[in-house]
Amino acid sequence: MADTGSVVSTTSNSDGRHSFSSPYTAHTLDQIPTPMLKMLVGLGPVIRHCVQLIQVVTWQSSRPQISVLAVLLWICCCCWTTTVLSLGVPTLVLIKLCRDWLQAKTTRLRREKLEQVRMAEREKNQARDDPSDDNDYYDDDEDDTRMRRQRKRQQEEDELVSRKIQPEGRVSLDDTLHDLAIINEYADGVRQWFAWWADRLDGSRPEVLASALSVFMYICPLWILFNWLLGPSGVFALLGTLFLIGSSPWFKVTLMAIRQSPFIMHVLAALWAYGVAVVLSLLSLVLPLQQPLPQKQSKFGRIKGWIMGLAEHARHKKSKALQAMQSENEDDNQASTCGTRSEMIFQFEVYENQRWWLGMDWTTNMMPTERAAWTDKQLVSIESKENFVLPPTNESVEIIQPTDKNGRSIKVTTRKTWGWADLDWWVDMTGELQGSVDRNGWEYGNNAWKQMSGKPGMQTFTRRRRWCRRARLVERRFEEEIHDPKSSTSDINGLRKRA
């Protein structure tokens, strides 16, 4: 069983059916063969590391200093190989152990501090909303009373929300497919680079041969001199450094400045021309000429509403638990029959977006030109998480023809079934200890949904939080021998002829 994260969202069509608006939809997952899907999920972290390496080499990382450190590390490995192997590897192991220990201790201290803040805030809210002060509600302004009750109800709802923290190093299927696109783009660039060099070293064309030999005439003495002065380690360090800095922005700017310098261009043109002339004179080649708000209620009404809400919440949880148990029983019953079974776990993610309005507090009323109240990772408008529906059961049948003449074919039935692995949606609390989200999973931003942080302020007008829920995709494969009527008819006709 593999675990992955995938952002899949639903939108309702005019005919009432649901279509999935993520770039890689749940229906698409049904069409991908299970071995290929497992391979993509299993290789997700490896592919992510490859993309990070490509970004470092091409100087496209968010921190360019990592590329500079990569150049220095390459030079150290080439010039002091023995020292790096004997001291560098043990040092890296010790650094990792110390970092993990320090991170665990820091996380524990942050969690304890956060719990203390929560307890203090809870005691403060309980003291403020003490039932003994309910008689004072009628002395207050009606709007203040309504806002106080609404705030208390919101706090009770927030306490019932399920929360979890995502594990570190999780790579979603969307991210894996995006990383594969980056790798393919880099591979295309490498192929074009090799094709360019192959075209410049094509000895079958006289003009290319003359140009290559003229350049080789200048480079060969320099190559011999560098090998004699620097040695093998120095040459590898020099070549690797040139390769690593070849994609850096400042290196490209330097090349552009050289190309725009008339003096340097004249010198290079003269050297190339003299080299070609020497080669042509030696080899005698001919160069061709081509180039909603609540109402006021009594104390008894509030208690009654609270009890009814609690009962409704209990019934809701009970129905979901029964559905989950029935689904597991069906899986167990089907597993006892013949056929093979494989399953995978996918994590679906949706984003809840809200905006702050003066006099209305946080609401789902958005501006016409911005994102909707519920979106997926690509900011595509979707329905709320309560209307999220998994794809229906997909079944395909394939007939495998026999290789011999016994008249037996094999009917292969593949059935793919979706079911929820989590009872309900839960809020992603990843980053709470670092201050990226608040105690309810909200991430606050400015009016343009930028400068996101976990603390609201005077300039925060937008907020969002991520809801997650895992689903199980079960694939069953049944094989059944069937009688081929064509083969049996031909056998009967053959018997009649022999009779």
The pLDDT of residue 306: 56
The contacts of residue 444 (CB under 8 Å, 6+ apart) are: 438, 452, 453, 454, 455, 456, 457, 460, 462, 463
- Map residue 188 onto helix, strand or coil: helix
Residue 229 and residue 178 share a domain: no
Domain interval for residue 214: 203-285
CA–CA distance, 157 with 172 (Å, rounded to integer) = 30
Where is the domain boundary, 189, 215, 233? Answer: 189
Q: Do 216 and 97 belong to one domain?
A: no
- C-alpha distances in angstroms, 479 versus 94, 277, 334, 336, 358? 54, 74, 14, 15, 64
pLDDT at 115: 82
What's residue 15's pLDDT? 37
More confident residue, 49 or 33: 49
368, 447: one domain: yes
pLDDT of residue 23: 43
Same domain flag for 442 and 412: yes
Among candidates 249, 220, 227, which has minimal Cα distance to 67?
249
pLDDT in tens, 421-460: 888 888 888 888 888 888 888 999 998 888 888 888 888 8
Lowest mean pLDDT among 300-309, 366-375, 399-408: 300-309
181 and 259, same domain (yes or no): no
Q: Is 313 within the bounds of a domain?
A: no
Res 302: pLDDT:
60
More confident call, 271 vs 186: 186
63 and 183 share one domain: yes
Q: What are the φ and ψ backbone dihedral angles of 60, each rounded to 5 degrees?
A: -110, 10
CA separation, residue 402 to residues 410, 475, 477, 489, 494 (Å): 7, 25, 19, 15, 19
229, 184: one domain? no
DSSP strand pairing (163-164 vs 426-428): parallel
CA distances for 18 relative to 27, 310, 345, angstroms: 11, 31, 21
* Domain final position from 136, 157, 189: 189
Give me the pLDDT at residue 289, please. Answer: 38
Asked whether residue 466 is assigned to any structural domain, the reply reads: yes
In a domain, 241, yes or no: yes
265 plus 367 within the same structural domain: no
Model confidence pLDDT, tens digit, residues 266-288: 777 777 777 777 776 666 544 44
Residue 356: is its pLDDT beyond 70?
A: yes
Tokens describing residue 101: 């220990």
Encode pLDDT of 145-158 as tens digits: 777 777 777 776 77
Is 147 within a domain?
no
430 and 369 part of one domain: yes
Q: What is the pLDDT of residue 313?
A: 53
Determine, yes or no, domain membership for 357.
yes
Q: Of the candidates 421, 425, 467, which has an alpha carbon nearest to the alpha carbon of residue 442?
A: 467
Whether residues 241 and 184 fall in one domain: no
Q: Name the nearest CA neighbour of 440 among 320, 352, 348.
A: 352
Does a structural domain hold residue 365? yes
The residue out of 285, 314, 332 marking a domain boundary is 285
449 part of a folded domain: yes
Per-chain mean pLDDT for the chain: 75
Q: Structurally, how many domains does the chain consist of?
A: 3
pLDDT of residue 462: 92
Let me know if residue 196 belongs to a domain.
Answer: no
Do 362 and 474 fall into the same domain?
yes
**Is the domain of 359 the same as that of 464?**
yes
pLDDT at 400 over 90: no
Mean pLDDT of 208-235: 85
User: What is the pLDDT confidence band of residue 354, given thresholds at 50, 70 and 90?
Assistant: very high
